[in-house]
Amino acid sequence: MRGRIQGLQPAMTGPCRAAYDGAVPSPTSGGSRTAAPSAAGSSARSIGAPVSISGVSKWFPTGRSFLHALDEIDIEIEPGEFVSLIGPSGCGKSTLLRVVGGLLPYELGTVTVDGNSPAQARDTKQIGFAPQTPSLLGWRTVRRNVTLLAEVNRRGAIHPPLSESEILELLETVGLGDFLDRLPKELSGGMQQRVSLVRCFALGAPVLLMDEPFSALDEITRNEMRYLLLDLWERTGHTVVFVTHSIPEAVILSDRVLVMATKPGRVVHAETITLPRPRSVQMEDDERYLVHMRNVRRSLGEVSAR
């Protein structure tokens, strides 16, 4: 795996290259490419950016009244950290993700992505988004779907997207090297989701928001996909906010799992995952994995019982 990362290096330039080499970029190069924290267990190759959510509340109008969707959410996410949001349906996980992504307005509090407001982060393409369904454009081949996000709003981007050779390498990594010119309808559901993941990484954004990207997949493919995501993330070290309903998925992927409660949506428990990185399927037998699973499950049980 390490060899593959080195294989990617020659194509990288600027702060991205510096981050991969472990050099600390100058302040003018953007704080997003700073070294990863030890919490993530990753080396200085991280290109992630910090995300700060402070006292955020949101209401949705429902006829004559309002639905209190989020209540004073406070989350600090370090650069290169992988954070999962888990909770019952309607607890505001996806809403929070969209607030961070600048796709939904919020009424109270502050959100910053690498020091910028969500709208600014969106305009400068600092956020990669992976929706619940692959949402591939049927008329574009795999290769052209992956480059879609890089093709729009070119002027706004402050981070360069991955080069063609880097994208090809990522596609080969996820087993799509022989499917570059295929249309989405010629791919299975799992393959489509892999394209969606590569598209998200190919943007070169320091922060990735993923909204239950594996929810529509069968259990076997889902299990395979979570390790594929781990592999991609451990190569690049983006900051990831990942929404899921699956406890095993949240525990094996994350540095931190935030359990949310409903009515109104709020964070009730933060589980810091102490499993070492890189992670593998063997760690599912680790005592610590089972303890984290139990803690998150209990916390979710308490939330449901309320």
Partner 1 sequence: MTTEATQQSAPGTGTKQPPPQRPQHVRRSAMTVAPIVGLVVVFAIWELYVRVFNVSPLTLPTPWSILVHLREEPGFYWRHAQVTLLEAAWGYGLALGASLIVATFMAHSRFVERSSMPVIVLLQSTPVAVLAPVFLIWFGFGYWPKVLVAAVFCYIPFTINEFTGLRSVDPNAYELLRSVSASRTEIFWKLRFPQSLPYLFSAGRLCVGLALVGAVIGEMFGGSTEGLGNTARVGQVRLLIDQLWGSIFVLAFIGVIGNLLLAAVETRVLRWHSSQDLPGGSAAAL
Binding mask 174-213 for partner 1 (x = CB under 8 A): ---------xxxx----------------x-----x----
49 binding partner 1? (CB under 8 A): no
| 20 exposure class (CB count in 10 Å sphere: 0-12, 13-18, 19+) | buried
241 binding partner 1? (CB under 8 A): no
Give φ, ψ of 282 to 5 degrees.
-65, -25
Q: Which amino acid is at 259?
A: V
Among the listed residues 152, 285, 305, 306, the single contact to partner 1 using CB under 8 A: 152
137 binding partner 1? (CB under 8 A): yes
Label the pairing between strands 82-86 and 65-77: unpaired
Of 57 and 132, nearer to partner 1 (C-beta) is 132
Among the listed residues 43, 52, 112, 132, the single contact to partner 1 using CB under 8 A: 132
Helix residue spans in 101-246 (DSSP H): 118-123, 142-146, 148-151, 164-173, 189-202, 219-236
Binding mask 74-103 for partner 1 (x = CB under 8 A): ---------------------------xxx
Give which of 291, 252, 239, 294 is closest to 83, Cα–Cα: 239
Of 129 and 233, nearer to partner 1 (C-beta) is 129
Separation CA 120–CA 112 (nearest Å):
9
Number of residues that make up the chain: 306
216 binding partner 1? (CB under 8 A): no
Beta bridge partners of 59: 68
Q: Least distance to partner 1 from the beta carbon of 134, Å?
A: 8
Q: Least distance to partner 1 from the beta carbon of 77, Å?
A: 18
